Structure 1
Amino acid sequence: MQPSFADPQDPRIPLFAVSPEGLSARIAALPEIARTWVEAQGFAAGAGECLAIPDASGKVAMAMVGTGPRESRRHRFAVGRGASRLPAGTYEIAGGTLDKADLEEAALGWLLESYVFDRYASRPARKARLVAPDGIDAGRIEAIAAGECLTRDLINTPANDMGPAELETAVRALAADHAARVEVTHADALLDANLPLIHTVGRAADAARGPRLIDLRWGAWGPKLTLVGKGVCFDTGGLNLKPGASMALMKKDMGGAATVLGLARMIMTLGIPLRLRVLIPAVENSVSGPAFRPGDILPSRKGLSVEINNTDAEGRLVLADALALGAEEEPDLMVSMATLTGAARVAVGPDIAPFYATEDRIAAAIAAAGAEVADPVWRMPYHEPYESLIEPGIADLDNAPGGGMAGSITAALFLRRFAGAGAYAHFDIYGWNQSDRPGRPKGGVGMGARALLAALPKMIRT
């Protein structure tokens, strides 16, 4: 699905975004028949609350959508709820109560609310469409929405239809749309290419679902941006087998790959002058004879040895080789995104994208952009005293320190060992909405991508 705004030539239905504080004045300004209808329906302008108002013939003459309290920061994309709750028609935000930032959020929220995942079951398309508000960059918002919808589609697709091979196909399709180049290193060729950790994690899978490193490049000039996304298309936990309840959502363990691909689509669609590289180690962490074991000590591309204390901490292993490869070209900025640790969810919950940054200026740019574009992020610390926790003695690094403390931080410290000396940020995301919310239906979701896109001009000169 390609989200887009309605044709501005279509007949338009006025849509009023109303807060509880402004409701009385808005009702008072309505014609009598409309005023009577609103009062009879008990509309209270709660966040995402929608009301279609008919004319004397019964046709929709106007509509209202609640924004929630003016000063509340509890809700995002409330106006966008109209895309799924209002009758078919072309709507235009009216009334002049929203500033530019609010209009941009409302417009994006409408497109995101229009998303429907209907690959496996018939679901009606959203028929309430929005005309792009005056004064916003409609093309940019459509590009952002399209990137987010790509991310959602990839995460929502179950592992039987989104294994490493299908993820490669999705990358190739994206590349073809944007004249990008793709190289893929498969199976045992990973060993020849000195990518041993990617090979080891994925070698237990069936040959048709074998490990690979997907390498997309786009852009001939400009600063170098490298995005690295965890592409674990299904995670059984390996020999440290997950219990059934923990395995239920593991189709989303490639959410990091899905999110960097959504961000890459935004960048390429907008034509941002960058030399973009996307690295995705795509594997399935399976159980069979060749599976790697607890206690194994593995080599890595960078030459650091890694002791395996838990085969369920496989994401940092495949990212390690990809980061080491990416760092060799000394990009101006490298970013990794991964559904990496449960510890991050305990720390900040499912709604916030925690991130780590090696430079304060990078962190400040991401944090400010996240607030501006309603993509919540939170900086986490590279706490140096915890470095000893990932140094087991028998090998250079430990992939899963015992004790259960600071799990997200120790994972980030592990990855930093492979990311080189340049500017680097790592996102430990969840990639899933547990319940339906405005602009964010239950299911796969991108986290941090819009913040990164908005922060790019401050992080690297484009």
Structure 2
Amino acid sequence: MSTDSLIEPIDDAIAIVAVRKSELAAWQQQQAEPIRAWVISCGFEAEAHAVLRLPGDKPAVLIGLGDTIDRWSFAGLPQSLPEGVYRIDGELTDEEATQAALGWALGSYRFTRYKKPSRDVAQLIWPSKADRAQVARDAASMALVRDLINTPTNDLGPSQLADAAQAVAKEFGATCNVTVGDALLTENYPAVHAVGRAATNAPRLIDIAWGNAAHPKITLVGKGVCFDTGGLDIKPSSGMLIMKKDMGGAAHALALGRMVMAAKLPVRLRVIIPAVENAIAGNAMRPLDVLQTRKGLTVEVGNTDAEGRLILSDALALACEDKPDLLIDFATLTGAARVALGPDLPAMFANDDALAAELENDARETGDPLWRLPLHSAYAKDLDSKIADLNNISSNGFAGAIYAALFMQRFVDPAVKWIHLDTYGWNSKARPGRPEGGEARNLFALYRLIARRAK
């Protein structure tokens, strides 16, 4: 996905007439009788994503906006309209034009690495008031998430994920250090090593740095489990089927970092990704093993399928060592979050109420929803272990997302403002602009949160 489907003006572009539900009656009254009768006879009510070809000498398409224009309003059109060049009729505000162009770019996305598409997407003339730089930045970052998640593990293991990170770093002149295999033990990332050592594609810790050290420090951490068998506590086949997406947190962190760098925000950015495959072999970690961690806490492995929080423990401890002004982590972490909130609402945890409220407001304003769950401290005792500092799972089957967040909080410096996002990273069904497969969520809200801190 890029802005290739957005082009410069040509003379014979097909008109797209976009109408809100509240404006439909007034619009109809302004039309000639044949068009008015056609629209009524077809039952067009301007519902969101409704499309109707208009009769007449000059081809035109009527689309419904529902109640408002957002980035998804035009996103279904590039692949549903016939091939050709289109233009949006009527005046759009700067923001509406930007969102319309972004939606067109998002709706043009197709994962084509292994299968050639059967047709070209429709093209749109750039809306005149659109912020082209923002559209290009946002579309490319969304595509990065989708492409990384959609790529199967035989082509995107820990080494290839590191290659992707290094490519992003090189694009923007950032540094990227990668610690691989047994060097993880030497450099004190024991939990990352323990989770990933059974895979033939060795585990690694990816560390990107960019920007002026005098600017506010923003650190992003992403769970990079490139495939999760569950380890010796092996998943059933149905639970393993889409586990190529278990590096979705890493994809989000890398893409948000890309947005920040592309916009040249005045921040000191750091992106940390522990990249592993949770595989099964003779040297795989076992249930009730006790692992060392970078922070010095010992962890009893109550379940090898709760591996994401283990690798994140080392990454979060590393992140806190230089005291960032804001720490954000992304992880496709728990099924419990999906049971509670479904696939479209990432669960958000934060150790600062004002910060959480700020992000909630950004999520509303950007149409990028999430839902806060509590770091309920009374539950923390359920992570106790009789032989280690803590267990990686709770002693009961409830509140799995909260227990995972509480576990991770043990590795975060209380003085550091921290946001944890338990996200799904996947569309289970196709919708306009959002094909089935890998998906990014909350990049727009978090970018706004970070941009406000840039100075």
Normalised-by-shorter TM-score class: over 0.9
Partner of 1:26: 27
Q: What residue is the counterpart of 1:15 in the other structure?
A: 16
Q: State the SS of the aligned residue for 2:280.
A: coil
Aligned pairs for 1:343-358 (under 5 A) are 343-358=336-351
Indicate which of 337, 358, 374 corresponds to 1:365: 358
What is the one-letter code of the residue matched to 1:215? Answer: D
Tell me the amino acid that sits aligned with residue 395 of structure 2: G
**Can you give the 5+ residue segments of structure 2 that lack an aligned partner in the other structure?**
none
Distance 2:425 2:50 in 1: 26
Q: 1:106 deviation in Å?
A: 2.8
Aligned AA (1:357): A
Distance 1:371 1:116 in 2: 28
Instruction: Report 1:68-147 matches (<5 A).
Output: 68=66, 70=67, 77-96=72-91, 101-124=95-118, 126-147=120-141
Where 1:21 maps in the other structure, the secondary structure is helix
Aligned to 1:63: 61
Mean Cα deviation higher: 188-197 or 118-127: 118-127
* Contact 1:300–1:321, Cα closer than 8 Å, also in 2: yes
* 1:104 CA drift (Å): 3.7
Kindly provide the amino acid, as one letter, of the partner of residue 91 in structure 1: Y
- The aligned amino acid for 2:373 is M
The DSSP-based 3-state class of the residue aligned with 2:22 is: coil
Which residue pairs with 1:426 in the alignment?
420
- Residues of 2 paired with 1:307 and 1:195: CA distance? 16
Deviations 1:59-80 (A, max 9, x none): 62x2221122x28x9x971332
Q: Is the 8 A contact 1:116 1:125 kept in 2?
A: no
Q: How far has the Cα of 1:413 moved from its partner?
A: 1.0
2:142 to 130, 142, 148: 148
Equivalent residue, structure 2, for 1:219: 211
Within a 5 Å distance, the mapping from 1:45-444 to structure 2 comes to: 45-56=46-57, 60=59, 62-68=60-66, 70=67, 77-96=72-91, 101-124=95-118, 126-206=120-200, 209-221=201-213, 222-420=215-413, 421-444=415-438
Q: Is the 8 A contact 1:427 1:448 kept in 2?
A: no
Separation in structure 2 between the aligned mates of residue 122 and residue 136 of structure 1, nearest angstrom: 30
- TM-score, normalising length: structure 1: 0.93
Q: Considering only aligned residues, what root-mean-square deviation do their CA atoms show, in Å?
A: 2.0
Distance of 1:378 and 1:323 partners within structure 2: 22
Which residue identity is paired with 1:164? P
Structure 2-normalised TM-score?
Answer: 0.94
Q: Which runs of 5+ in 1 are unaligned?
A: none
Task: Please report how far the alpha carbon of residue 373 of structure 1 lies from its aligned counterpart in structure 2 after TM superposition.
Answer: 1.4
Secondary structure of the residue that 1:217 maps to in structure 2? strand
Q: Which 4+ stretches in 1 moved above 6 angstroms?
A: none
Q: Which amino acid aligns with 2:2?
A: Q
Could you tell me the percent identity over the aligned residues?
Answer: 47
Are residues 166 and 400 of structure 1, via their aligned partners in 2, closer, same or farther at CA, if it must alter by over 3 Å?
Answer: same
Aligned residues: 452
One-letter amino acid of the counterpart of residue 162, structure 1:
L
CA deviation profile, 1:217-258 (whole Å, cap 9, x unmatched): 111242111110000000000000000000001000000001
Between the aligned partners of 2:56 and 2:118, the Cα distance in structure 1 is 26
Q: Check the 8 A contact 1:50/1:65 in 2, yes or no.
A: yes
> Could you tell me how far apart the structure 1 residues matched to 2:313 and 2:220 are?
13
**Partner secondary structure for residue 275 of structure 2:** strand
Q: Provide the secondary structure at the position in 1 that maps to 2:10.
A: coil
SS in structure 2 at match of 1:225: strand
